[in-house]
Structure 1
Amino acid sequence: MSDYTAIQKDFYRESGRWLSTFQIWAKCINPNLHYVYILRKAQKYRKKSIAGLFWRLLLRHYQIKYGFQIYPETEIGEGFYLGHWGALVINPKTRIGKNCNIAQGVTIGQQNRGKNEGFPVIGDEVWIGPNAVIVGSVNIGNNVLIAPNAYVNFDVPKNSMVMGNPGKIYPAENATQGYINNKIF
């Protein structure tokens, strides 16, 4: 499986099948997959001048068109999945693990002062529901479900769910079971 690119692994999460280059292009009719494709290209070529400039300009166009604010500097693991398009903001210094799902309306941002000053680090197999907010220098463990509309400004241990505003942690061994499909291992 190491021969597959990050783009192929991201698209695998959507379909559960390994796709050819043509099949990937055909799937780009979906705004979420289209944006992820352009994001991965901008990440790949960000150090190279002409190609990097082209992909960054294209990414900027689609940020405005689709309402996603995810930058090439953001470290995102393989198997990244956007559930729905629109109004998504992720700080460029955020780190996101493998097999993560993010829904619409989510904000993952920086906190500029206080005890949690900094940026979030999100583990593997994390499902983030619609309109959830994660801010500050917090660590989200592996296998975590963050419920819709949850506000998280604290560390979340692995194998748990967070619900509410302010968020409350509930231990759950199978927190993301049925929420994260077609995982990349």
Structure 2
Amino acid sequence: MIRVFELIKSDLYRYYGKTDKRTFLKSFFLVEGFRFMFFYRIKSTLSKKNPLYWLFYIIVRHYSYKYGFQFFSAKIGKGFYIGHFGNIIINGGTHIGDNVNISPGVVIGQVSRGRLKGVPKIGNNVWIGSNVVIVGNIKVGNNVLIAPGTYVTTDVPDFSLVRGNPCEISSSRGVEGYVCNAWLVEDGNE
């Protein structure tokens, strides 16, 4: 149970750069993405045999419909930041690293056949813009910026800027300046 509180604390830090009680209450009541992740984190750590699991499952399901978030079993790292609520779909088999920003209209999905069969793996310190589609058994590296409206079906190296449909990989600056309040062990956040 301690791990879930560390995850919640890391998510909270991403919004305001603080983790005190006042910031928690402000975020819980005013920030839809944080509220959803609070319940999602708790549900994700409970066993289905635990009666509380079903309570949190219902709460997550409620907020999923209310805000348009659909990711019931994705593995999400520390410091997950949902910029705004509305239509975010993440396949349950997806692995997402630490300090990832996600925007409305994002679909991270599965390909069911062919060379791309599988689900994506998203690295650390990744910024995903609005209306981005990431599909297939691909790896998005660390420190990557995916521009709004991009369709990603190929591996993305570290420190890249990705844009367009089909996607073009350019720049070596990656996510510089886009992932704010990153949760870092070195900074003493943890």
Q: What's the TM-score, normalizing by structure 1?
A: 0.93
| Contact kept? 2:14, 2:182, Cα under 8 Å | yes
Equivalence map 1:84-123=2 (5 Å): 84-123=84-123
Deviation at 1:110, TM superposition (A): 0.3
Paired residue type of 2:46: Y
CA spacing shift, 1:46–1:4, aligned 2, 3 Å: closer
Deviation at 1:4, TM superposition (A): 5.9
Q: Secondary structure at the match of 1:127?
A: strand
Aligned to 2:139: 139
| Contact kept? 2:97, 2:122, Cα under 8 Å | yes
| Contact kept? 2:68, 2:88, Cα under 8 Å | yes
CA spacing shift, 1:62–1:46, aligned 2, 3 Å: farther
Deviation at 1:142, TM superposition (A): 0.3
Deviation at 1:17, TM superposition (A): 0.8
Deviation at 1:3, TM superposition (A): 10
Unaligned segments of structure 2, at least 5 residues: 185-190
Point out the more displaced range, 140-149 or 42-51. Answer: 42-51
Take 1:48 and 1:80, find their aligned partners in 2: how far apart are those partners? 27
Aligned to 2:188: none
CA deviations over 1:113-145 (Å, ceiling 9, x no partner): 110000000000000000000000000000000
Deviation at 1:41, TM superposition (A): 1.2
Percent of pairs with identical residues: 41
Aligned to 2:178: 179
| Contact kept? 1:46, 1:56, Cα under 8 Å | no
Take 1:128 and 1:183, find their aligned partners in 2: how far apart are those partners? 15
CA spacing shift, 1:148–1:46, aligned 2, 3 Å: farther
Take 1:25 and 1:117, find their aligned partners in 2: how far apart are those partners? 42
CA deviations over 1:19-45 (Å, ceiling 9, x no partner): 23x642332122111111111111122
Unaligned segments of structure 1, at least 5 residues: none
Q: How many residues align?
A: 181
Q: Secondary structure at the match of 2:99?
A: coil
Q: What's the TM-score, normalizing by structure 2?
A: 0.91
| Contact kept? 1:104, 1:130, Cα under 8 Å | yes
CA spacing shift, 1:48–1:8, aligned 2, 3 Å: farther
Take 1:43 and 1:3, find their aligned partners in 2: how far apart are those partners? 9
Deviation at 1:18, TM superposition (A): 1.8
Take 2:66 and 2:25, find their aligned partners in 1: how far apart are those partners? 19
Equivalence map 1:15-34=2 (5 Å): 15-20=16-21, 23-29=23-29, 30-34=31-35
Deviation at 1:59, TM superposition (A): 0.4
Aligned to 1:51: 52
CA spacing shift, 1:179–1:39, aligned 2, 3 Å: same
Take 1:41 and 1:3, find their aligned partners in 2: how far apart are those partners? 6
Q: Secondary structure at the match of 1:5?
A: helix
Aligned to 1:69: 70
Aligned to 1:60: 61
Paired residue type of 2:33: N
